[in-house]
Amino acid sequence: MLFGSVVAVALPTLVRVAVNGTVTGCEFTPYLPFVFLAAILMGGLPAGLVALASVATLGGLFLSSHAGTECFLSGSALFLGSSAMIIGTVVLIRRRIAAIEKHGPDESAGGIVFSLEQEQVYASWYGQDAPLRLGSRHRVKSMMQDFLAQEDLAKRLNGRPD
């Protein structure tokens, strides 16, 4: 993570150095995509540190002691605000995706649905894609009977009632 953070500050700084004659003042634009990438690849806290390090790097390398202080302060505030919005958006999206993955399929409507077509048994799940072919009717029937018998035996051996 440390290496990624260093790269996320170093690369836009090199871009900034390359366009130093063209870009004047306190230009933070090269740093924004790297804050975004840091938020996606490393998370919110490292991306926040990348944003702060970017401000420190730009202030230390490109601005003289008092020249451009007002520009630097306003530019830094806008950059940090933009970075916070980017990081917050990425964090919210990551949390939402994690919640969806954790929740799994919606089984409120019954979970697994079995269907029979041309003596082949299929299983499908609500909210999921195409059904899965389980095999012939005779084969699936014997497998299900075996499964239920094993479950009953396990309950009896463990002393658990139904």
29-59 pLDDT, tens per residue?
788 888 999 999 999 999 999 999 888 887 7
How close are the terminal C-alpha atoms of the chain, in Å?
51
- Kindly report, residue by residue over 134-160, the tens digit of the pLDDT: 999 999 999 999 999 999 898 888 877
Q: How many CA atoms lie within 13 A of 17 on its CB side?
A: 9
What would the mean pLDDT of 89-115 be, rounded to a whole number? 78
Two structure tokens written together for 94: 């990551």
- Whether 78 maps to a domain, the answer reads yes
Q: Are residues 140 and 89 in the same domain?
A: no
Q: Are residues 117 and 38 in the same domain?
A: no
Two structure tokens written together for 130: 């195409």
Structure confidence at residue 23 (pLDDT): 55
The pTM of the full predicted model, rounded to 2 decimals, is: 0.54
Two structure tokens written together for 150: 């094993």
- Whether 162 maps to a domain, the answer reads no
Q: Are residues 36 and 96 in the same domain?
A: yes
The one-letter amino acid code at 17 reads V
Q: Are residues 95 and 153 in the same domain?
A: no
- Whether 72 maps to a domain, the answer reads yes
Number of domains in the chain: 2
Task: Indicate the range of 61-65, 101-105, 150-154 predicted with least confidence.
Answer: 61-65
Q: Are residues 18 and 70 in the same domain?
A: yes
Q: Which domain holds residue 31?
A: 2-103
- Whether 61 maps to a domain, the answer reads yes
